[in-house]
Structure 1
C-alpha cells in the first residue's frame, strides 16, 4: 500500500468517506474491504464505510493500520515531507510502505547514532544515489532511479545536502544546429527521432531523460535563445514541467494542438490524474502556468483524459504558440 492509499484509508477511519479514485479502489487491500468483508462500499463518486459494518471496520483499522499510519505520518511531518518549501501541504506524496519502513528505520538509527559512521562516509566519499540505493534499498542500485521524492526524503532523514547522481547529472541529448534560433526541450524522445523539419527552422532539440533534470541547471547560463518545453499533458508531465521550470526559469510551456485521449483507452499509460490535482494546478503561479493552461488541464482532469506529446506536429505547435513564423 502506498502513502496516498494509506491517507485515504485513514480518511475513511476519521470521516467515514473519501473521494473514489481508480488507484485507490484498485488497491488489493481496498478491494478486500469492498468485495470480501463488505466493510466499504462505493457510493457515487465516494468510497464510504458501510454503516452495518462500521464497528468491524474501525476495530480492524485500529488494530492493523492505525499504529503504522501514525508512525509514518510523524516521520513525514518531522522531516517536512508533507509540505512544500512554502509550507503548503503537498497533494502528491507517493512513498510505498516498504520505502517508508526503510526511512523510519534510518530515522531511528540517526537518533541512536548507529548510522553516524556510514553517514560520514557517504558525505566524505561523495557517494552516488545508486551507491546509497544499494546500501539501504533492498541491495538494488537502481531502485532510486526515477524516484526524486524518495531521494529527497532520504537526504532529509540522513541530514545530507547532496548525493552524486550517476544518471541524472551526466548526460543530455542535443540535436545541435549552427546559429540556433530556439531550443525545444522534449519530455520524450520521439521528436528527436524526426529532426529534419526542426533543423530547417534552426530549432535545436534537447532530451534530458524525463525526470532526470538536475543537469539542466548547468544549461541556465549557456542559453542565448528562447527555450520551450514540450511534454505529455498528464499528471507526471505537468509535475516534471514544474521541476524543469525551477531549474530553467525562462522556459515556456508549449500549448498542445492535438486531441485529447481518454485514459480508459490508454491501458499502457500509467500517469493518471489524482485526487486534488485540480487544487494543485490552480495553486501554481500564473508565471509558471497560465490561466489558459490551467483551463486545459482542468478540462482534461474532468474528462479523465490526457494529451500525448508525440501526437502534436512540433512545427505547427510552435507556430500556434507564436514561437516561430511559418516559412
Structure 2
C-alpha cells in the first residue's frame, strides 16, 4: 500500500466498497483521478455531484486495500475511539503509531526531544513532522502516557526492537525501522526482524544462539553508512562462527541522488571503494556499489521488497 495515502482517502475508498457514494469533490485527489481514468469509479448517473463504484472496483479494493484498511481501522479505534474519516494521518504515520504502541515501554525509557523522536520514528516526515501535525503529536504523547518530551536528549539511546516470530526460518537485521512497521508481512513468511540502525549493533548479542543457525541477512540503505554497518556486522558474526549476507536490492532498483533532502550519508570519492572493505562484498555487490559511488547515487531500503530480496537467496 502507498505510504503517503491518507486515512481520509482510504476511508473514502472503503465507503465506495460498501456501496456508498462519495462527493465528486474527491476527484481533485490524484488517487480518485486515477480510478476515474481506469473506469473503476464513475459519476453517479444523473447527478455528477457524486462518485460511485464501477463493476470491477470491489475486486480492486479487496486486492489492494481491504486487509490493511481493516487492520488500521481497528488499530486507530483502539487508541482514538472518536477517530473518523476526516483525519489526515498517512499510512506511514499509522505504521509508525503501531510501532510506538508495540514498543512504548522501551521507548519511554529513552525518550528524546520532539525533533529527535520525530526523526527516529517518523523518518518519512523528518524531524519537523510532529511540529507540523499537532494532532498526531498529541496522539503520540497520549500513547506514551507523557505530557511532553525531555528538554534535552539523553546521551545514548540504544533501541532493541524486534519483530518476534515463532520458529523463524530467517533472521533479517534492518538498518531502518520501515520493515519492522509492517510485521504481518514478515511473520507470514517466518522472518524475524531486528533493528540495528544508528550503529546499534550491540543488540545482536541478544540473539539466541539457536537462531544463529538460521540464515542471517542484512537489509539497509545502499549508501556509505548502511554498507559500513554491514562491514561491522560481517566481522561480528564471523567471530561468532557464522555468516551474514547482504540483501541485494529488488527490482526495479530505484536510485536517488545522495544530495537529496534529508539524506545525510555521503560517499568518500577520494578513498578506494569509498573506504569500505571490498573483500567483504561479492562481485555483484561490488559492481553496484561502484556504480553508485561513480554516479553519486544511493538506494533507499524502504523502496525494496523484503520478501523478494530474501527470495533472491532462498525459496520461501
Q: Normalising by the residue count of structure 2, what TM-score does the alignment of the two structures yield?
A: 0.46
